[in-house]
Amino acid sequence: MPLAVYLLSIIPLLITIVAVGLIFYRLNKAGSSGRFKVIYKQNSLPNFRLVVDTKTGVNYLLSYNSGLTVLLDEHGKPMITPIKDTF
């Protein structure tokens, strides 16, 4: 495989790794303040965190290995934490 093709195929992977690393860095630096609140943290590998958007109540799963995704309920709709009760 030519070097140019190899480099072009690895660039999206590197961008994803850097982006997820920045998300983890910001969450660690900010703690649970700001728009997103960490409600569960698993420090073993793989590293998972459950994060809630304090403005919308939408729950997210954040993983260093696979990125950020919305948590869905059994009907395929985003899981929402009531904001008034929790925050």
Residue 15 predicted with pLDDT over 90: no
Q: In this predicted structure, what is the pLDDT of residue 35?
A: 78
Per the structure, the complete domain to which residue 19 belongs is given by 3-86
Greater pLDDT, 78 or 34: 78
Cα gap 26→33, rounded to integer Å: 11
pLDDT for 59: 93
Domain count, the chain: 1
pLDDT at 58: 92
Residue 50 half-sphere exposure toward CB, CA atoms < 13 A: 10
Residue 80: how many other CB atoms lie within 10 Å: 14
- As a whole number of angstroms, the distance between CA 18 and CA 55 comes to 26
pLDDT tens-place string over residues 17-64: 777 777 767 666 655 557 788 888 877 666 788 888 888 899 998 887
Predicted pLDDT of residue 30:
53
3-class secondary structure, 22: helix
Q: How far apart are CA 31 and CA 57, in angstroms?
A: 17
